[in-house]
Amino acid sequence: MSRSPDPEMIELARADIDRLTPEVTRLESHLDTLLMPPDPLDDRNSILEIRAGTGGDEAALFAGELLRLYTRFAERKGLTVEVVTLSTAALGGVKEAIAQMRGPNAYGLLRYESGVHRVQRVPATEAQGRIHTSAATVAILPEAEDIDIKIEEKDLRIDVFRSGGPGGQSVNTTDSAVRVTHLPTGLVVQCQDQKSQLQNKLRAMEVLRARLFDRMVAEQEAARSRERRSMVGNGDRSAKIRTYNFPQNRVTDHRLNVSIHNLDDVMNGDLDGLIELLQRKYKEERYGAAST
């Protein structure tokens, strides 16, 4: 077409080339990512853990908003979300929340959300209008199967106690809450949101199994993969991964070095763009490292 004697046609062809070349590059990169073999863990169910970090009541409010964000995202993806345990704070915030997410690719969709999420905004309780910085931690664990982790009864200490509500008020007249301690590792899981002691114990064991499996996978990958180290910083989940800046309507992912200005959409569960970029980044790193 560029050899056409018609100058207008030549100009149109050049404009099409300039317009379509970046899109072709993007699609080729996306196709390369799709052709990479999936991680066998991606299709597992997952455990979501959210905890308020530094920032007092504001951190707890943000933790509650993150729980809502991930719940909405999961539901948009056809996943079912069931809260295993929920510890509330003042002003409707959340100290700690643990939830199970079940459905296709439940772990693969959210596995790169683990780390510290930071929020910058003016709290409702701030009379001077000053911007505060608070944080919450997120951990996404693949749900373990019975063949993955064998837990011996002798390695467990099971404590039962009465379920309590906000302010320590009794919400149950029986000792239905369960605390499970894994003695070899010191891991502790507590569950009180189910109706019976047996249900609470089963849920606590599922969470414990997932934590032990996550630890086992991390140890296995540490020697041969850069994925977890680059994601959470030498295996430590305390690395800051994302900042939510409300005054600027901005979300910055520090691993991607990318900022987007649609914070309201993100807080309502629209994580598709960021998650697609993260999946591509870590797949390229994983298979790039494997080929060297």
- CATH numbers and ranges of domains, the chain: 46-147+222-291 (3.30.70.1660), 153-218 (3.30.160.20)
Mean of all residue pLDDT scores within the chain = 83
Assess whether pLDDT exceeds 80 at residue 124.
no
Assess whether pLDDT exceeds 60 at residue 88.
yes
Q: Which of 10-14, 111-115, 166-170 has the lowest mean pLDDT?
A: 166-170
Calpha distance 138→64 (Å, rounded): 12
Assess whether pLDDT exceeds 90 at residue 281.
no
Report the pLDDT value the prediction gives residue 231, as an integer from 0 to 100: 41
**More confident call, 273 vs 5:** 273
pLDDT tens column, 191-237: 988 888 888 998 999 999 999 998 888 877 665 444 444 443 433 44
Report the pLDDT value the prediction gives residue 228, as an integer from 0 to 100: 41
- Average pLDDT in the 30-59 region? 83
Calpha distance 69→46 (Å, rounded): 16
| pTM for the predicted model, two decimal places | 0.74
pLDDT confidence tier of residue 120, bands split at 50, 70 and 90? very high
pLDDT confidence tier of residue 31, bands split at 50, 70 and 90? low
Residues facing 137 on adjacent strands: 51, 116
Report the pLDDT value the prediction gives residue 15, as an integer from 0 to 100: 78
